[in-house]
Amino acid sequence: MPFDPIADITPIAVIGSTPIVIVVNSKVPAKNAQELIALLKANPGKYNYGSSGNGTILHLATEMFLDEAGVKATHVPYKGVGPMLTDLIGGQVDFCALSLPSVQQHLKSGALRAIGTGTAKRIPAAPEIPTMVEQGLPNYLVEGWFAVIGPAKMQPADVKRIHDAFAAAFATPEVKEAMAKQGNTIDVSTTEYANAFFKSELAKYAKLVKKAGLELQ
């Protein structure tokens, strides 16, 4: 990359997280994690999964599932979530990882079926979806997160001013209600936590990329 993801920014706050869920289309007979794993083991090379692009969180989230389950599937990268979701519903790809807000309407319509979430506990906005943890994959913990960052070497006074403004905005009842309906978890962090979190996330996914043998394409 033409920049350093740690040195070239100033972390201000981690705002919250968005749950990620493994979903299949209506043509795939699996109804839970163990059935999907069994299907992939019994049919090596038959099933494929989509992502919003190489190295994206949705790509890595599915690779983490495959790694934890000890199975393989063919990766089909797309240029964004929209076209990938269209092909998933149409049956061109069989399964993938997606954020819960992006698939809620398709789960309700029956076009897609939820296999499990990457959260530690069930999501209040969708309590009917089991976690991967409770389905025998204790290390499958992955969520999308969103944060506030600034350019490198920001002045501490500016960091505090921006941090406090975001904390106040996300504490308002209207914003909290809107976020909860989408299944998002809001927990505005300290700047110190954001600094440590960015480094730990980089190390976590670098390890996964190396283990899975992923390469830029």
Supply the pLDDT for residue 212: 65
Q: Does residue 62 sit within a domain?
A: yes
- Asked, for residue 145, whether it belongs to a domain, the answer is no
Q: Is residue 56 assigned to a domain?
A: yes
DSSP string, 194-215: HHHHHHHHHHHHHHHHHHHT--
Integer-rounded Cα Rg, in Å, for the chain is 18
- Has residue 97 been placed in a domain? yes
Chain centroid, CA 186 distance in Å: 15
Three-class SS state of 106 = helix
In this structure, what CATH number is given to the domain that contains residue 53? 3.40.190.10
pLDDT confidence of residue 170: 96
State the pLDDT at residue 66.
95
Asked if residue 197 belongs to a domain, the reply is no
Question: Which domain, by its residues, includes 37?
Answer: 22-117
pLDDT by 10s per residue, the chain, length 217: 788 888 999 999 999 999 999 999 999 999 999 999 999 999 988 999 999 988 888 999 999 999 999 999 999 999 999 999 999 999 999 999 999 989 999 999 999 999 999 999 998 889 999 999 999 999 999 988 999 999 999 999 999 999 999 999 999 999 999 998 888 889 999 999 999 999 998 888 888 777 766 665 4
Residue 45 in any domain: the answer is: yes
CB contact set of 22 (below 8 Å; sequence gap of 6+)? 33, 36, 61, 62, 65, 95, 96, 97, 114, 115, 116, 117, 118, 132
Burial of residue 188, with CB atoms counted within 10 A of its CB: 0-12 exposed, 13-18 middle, 19 or more buried: buried
Residue 75 in domain: yes
Number of domains within the chain:
1
pLDDT value of position 213: 67
Is residue 40 in a domain?
yes
